[in-house]
Amino acid sequence: MKTYPSWRLTILDMIMPAPRHRPPLKRPMWIIVLVSMVSLMLIGAYVYPPRSYAACYIFSSDGCKSISNWLPPAPAREFTDDEIVARVVIRDILKTPPLHSKNPKIAFMFLTPGTLPFERLWDRFFQGHDGRFTIYIHASREKPVHVSQYFVGREIRSDKVVWGKISMVDAERRLLANALVDPDNQHFVLLSDSCVPLHDFDYVYNYLMDTNISFVDSFEDPGPIGSGRYSEHMLPEVEKKDFRKGAQWFTMKRQHATVVMADSLYYTKFKLYCKPGMDGRNCYSDEHYLPTLFTMVDPGGISNWSVTHVDWSEGKWHPKSYRARDVSYELFKNITSIDESVHVTSAEKKEIQIRPCLWNGMKRPCYLFARKFYPETLDNLMHLFSNYTAV
């Protein structure tokens, strides 16, 4: 959708009206002075376009965009040493075909404080698919108690995780590093203790393996809880225009997991300058680091939506958490039939961005997993599992 900057029309209105109406002669002087001043300002802006963003706000950002379109492109910024290093390393990783594996597996990486309430459900999900998956558990608070053989002994060395702090990203990196040790792992899925599967194993396996993109959520939110969290300390490497937001629950192809391992430049920027209480604002690295990194280094390589469904429609600070009474065949039918991703910005106008979920160019259901479910839903989920995954 294209919007036309209103000030351009204003200029035309001001320059053109003379032939149409004869200006009344007895206009009060002040109107003439005011109109001349405003016209001069606008003509000045036309002839000497503003170079800084601050100046653009006088005219609204739309006007600014079209002014900058008329300018010759800004000269490329000179990269720092660290940026040159980061760029060549990442470029080469992306250009190197992934390791060929005769036995490609998916790494399921669970980020949890302790015991996983849905182990019995996941056990059912994994049954009969030995050799096609590996499980990794990052238990940040206490040693989990297991009920499924698949999960026994799968904990990695973990550390404390504080919600919203960089330790969350550190835990994700720790999981990726451990899972990358196995060369058969070709795709990496991050899951929480409150996540449940929406489809059977084969469906999930084929959905993730038969495409060459990572499902990393990313969108531009110009509002206070999007770009409003950006800090100029991140310059010059991370510009505000590249700052993105997205849910942390990703799936990633092997090359992208390696990119995350290779990056220390952008990671460090987020560690230092995207944290709660930064410049009087709260920035959460787990919601911004990966969406921004991939938007900068491989925008076409990510889906821009997360395959883990969550319901924000109640408009509260936390998403809807499902109770036992909420779990029904109809709920799962509803979630698994969604084939468009929806992002709502936090700007005053609450712009809603709706995009089809395109999988290898085809419109398909968006979601493989869902959160957040209370542990009390387990029995209902077990009871319904074979029914809803058959959809």
Ligand X SMILES: *[C@@H]1O[C@H](CO)[C@@H](O)[C@H](O)[C@H]1NC(C)=O
| Interacting residue ranges for ligand X, rule: CB under 6 A | 212-213, 295, 299-304, 328-331, 334, 383-384, 387
Which one, 272 or 331, has the nearer CB to ligand X?
Answer: 331
Q: What is the DSSP string of 3-71?
A: ---HHHHHHHHHHSHHHHSPPPTT--HHHHHHHHHHHHHHHHHHHS---SHHHHTTT-HHHHHHHHHHS
Q: Which residues contact 261 (CB under 8 A, 6 or more apart)?
A: 173, 176, 177, 180
3-state class (DSSP) for residue 107: strand
Which one, 108 or 243, has the nearer CB to ligand X?
Answer: 243
- The identity of residue 155, as a single letter, is E
Q: To the nearest whole angstrom, how small is the minimum distance from the Cβ of residue 247 to ligand X?
A: 15
Q: To the nearest whole angstrom, how small is the minimum distance from the Cβ of residue 219 to ligand X?
A: 8
Q: To the nearest whole angstrom, how small is the minimum distance from the Cβ of residue 226 to ligand X?
A: 13
Q: To the nearest whole angstrom, how small is the minimum distance from the Cβ of residue 262 to ligand X?
A: 17
| Dist CA 23 CA 150 (whole Å) | 85
CB 167 within 8 A of CB 138: no
Q: To the nearest whole angstrom, how small is the minimum distance from the Cβ of residue 86 to ligand X?
A: 19
159: DSSP letter? -
| Dist CA 4 CA 62 (whole Å) | 8
| Dist CA 240 CA 227 (whole Å) | 7
Q: At what angle do helices 378-389 and 119-126 cross, to 10 degrees?
A: 20
Q: To the nearest whole angstrom, how small is the minimum distance from the Cβ of residue 166 to ligand X?
A: 23
Angle at 239 between CA 237 and CA 243, to 5 degrees: 115
Which one, 105 or 245, has the nearer CB to ligand X?
Answer: 245
Q: To the nearest whole angstrom, how small is the minimum distance from the Cβ of residue 234 to ligand X?
A: 17
| Dist CA 86 CA 265 (whole Å) | 7
Which one, 60 or 212, has the nearer CB to ligand X?
Answer: 212
220: DSSP letter? -
Q: To the nearest whole angstrom, how small is the minimum distance from the Cβ of residue 263 to ligand X?
A: 18
Tokens coding 343: 């992002």
Query: What is the dihedral sign for C-alpha 120, 122, 126, 130?
Result: negative
3-state class (DSSP) for residue 359: strand
| Dist CA 381 CA 384 (whole Å) | 5
Which one, 161 or 296, has the nearer CB to ligand X?
Answer: 296
Q: Phi, psi at residue 304, to the nearest 5°?
A: 75, 5
Q: To the nearest whole angstrom, how small is the minimum distance from the Cβ of residue 39 to ligand X?
A: 38
Q: To the nearest whole angstrom, how small is the minimum distance from the Cβ of residue 139 to ligand X?
A: 32
Which one, 131 or 300, has the nearer CB to ligand X?
Answer: 300
Which one, 60 or 328, has the nearer CB to ligand X?
Answer: 328
CB 56 within 8 A of CB 50: yes
Integer Rg of the chain from CA: 26
Which one, 278 or 384, has the nearer CB to ligand X?
Answer: 384
Which one, 103 or 360, has the nearer CB to ligand X?
Answer: 360
| Dist CA 224 CA 248 (whole Å) | 19
Which one, 137 or 196, has the nearer CB to ligand X?
Answer: 196
